[in-house]
Structure 1
Amino acid sequence: MQPVVHACNPVVMRQIKALVAPILGSSDTLQDRQRRLARLGFTISRSEEGSYLATLPHGLRIMTLG
């Protein structure tokens, strides 16, 4: 079964990716990355299907993380 990821406007998705890319690519600890993402309204959500970028506080999955 394919995990559910919220469909988003492509322009908005590119902006979100550009915003969080430096944080996700950093060598910081997971806790530090989570803190930095939370300031922007996002979190890293983990499940059996994998890791996702999700919104705070609702946890809406918007992007899978490789």
Structure 2
Amino acid sequence: MENLKKTVQEIIDLIAAKQNKDANNKLTEASEQLDELLDLAEEDEDLLELSRYQVLLNQLFEKINKE
């Protein structure tokens, strides 16, 4: 999950730097990481935290594609 956190921060940094194409590529990478983690998650706490990342990734997607 640490990898996902790092990737999300990189996306936010790229958006701030107005590098939306790179941010979108990283977003795809993060979505794949999230899918893998969701497939492996067994604990409710993990699923809850991953669902928060899912919402965050959706919001970042909207932000990237709005500009």
The structure carrying a bigger helix percent of its residues is: 2
Per the shorter chain, which TM-score range? 0.3 to 0.5
Using structure 2 for the length normalisation, give the TM-score: 0.35
The structure carrying a bigger strand percent of its residues is: 1
Structure having greater relative contact order (Cα 8 Å, sep ≥ 6): 2
Using structure 1 for the length normalisation, give the TM-score: 0.35
